[in-house]
Amino acid sequence: MVVEQAHPEPLFRVFMKAEGFPEILDAHAQLCGALGIDIEAGQSDVFYRTLQTRVTTEEARALYALLDARAALAVYGGGNVCKQQKVSLK
């Protein structure tokens, strides 16, 4: 599914509804483009912070609350486990 807008909110909805790995990757790439994040240049560490500040819909805020609560669990070291870890999917 392709959205011809550079605004992050519609692209975030496409990303959230994406099914299957290729569709998820495509939606993620479009969302990163709309957010001005160049994943190929190693800017993946700013994705979540940028997403939180630029996409502020109710649906997005609910997701952030869930993710932040999960990251704060002791098993994740309060959000510090693997903080500098980089993962590449090709």
Contact (Cβ atoms closer than 8 angstroms) between residue 77 and residue 85: no
pLDDT of residue 51: 92
Contact (Cβ atoms closer than 8 angstroms) between residue 37 and residue 50: yes
Domain residue ranges of the chain, discontinuous segments joined by +: 8-79
Residue 46 is given by DSSP the state G
* End-to-end Cα, the chain, rounded Å: 20
pLDDT of residue 4: 41
pLDDT of residue 75: 85
Residue 90: pLDDT band (50, 70, 90) is: low
CA angle 3, 43, 35 (to 5 degrees): 30
Model pLDDT for residues 19-76, shown as the tens digit of each residue: 999 999 999 999 999 998 887 777 767 888 899 999 999 999 999 999 889 888 888 7
CA angle 78, 14, 76 (to 5 degrees): 10
Q: Is the pLDDT of residue 11 over 90?
A: yes
